[in-house]
């Protein structure tokens, strides 16, 4: 079970990435996109060495 990073609800509909629920994406789009963007940046930092080589 994954928790939404914005409203902290747990839901089957929250994907691990970006980690925000559909409600927040619909109602708090700006914040949800920001959270998703931050998650994306972090995942790129984690995975980028593999792509460089």
Return the DSSP state at 5: T
Considering the complex, state which of residue 8 and residue 53 has its C-beta at the smaller distance from Zn ion: 8
Q: At its nearest, how many Å lie between Zn ion and the CB of residue 10?
A: 10
By CB under 5 A, residue 7 contacts Zn ion:
yes
- Which contacts (CB < 8 Å, 24+ apart) does range 19-22 have? none
Q: At its nearest, how many Å lie between Zn ion and the CB of residue 9?
A: 5
By CB under 5 A, residue 32 contacts Zn ion:
no
* C-alpha distances out from residue 3 to 6, 8, 47, Å: 9, 5, 23
By the criterion CB under 5 A, which residues form the site for Zn ion?
A: 4, 6-7, 21, 24
């Amino acid at each position: 079970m994954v928790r939404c990073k914005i409203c902290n609800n747990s839901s089957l509909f929250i994907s691990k990435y970006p980690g925000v629920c559909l409600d927040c994406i619909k109602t708090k789009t700006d914040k949800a996109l920001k959270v998703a963007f931050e998650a994306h940046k972090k995942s790129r930092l984690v995975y980028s060495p593999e792509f460089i080589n």
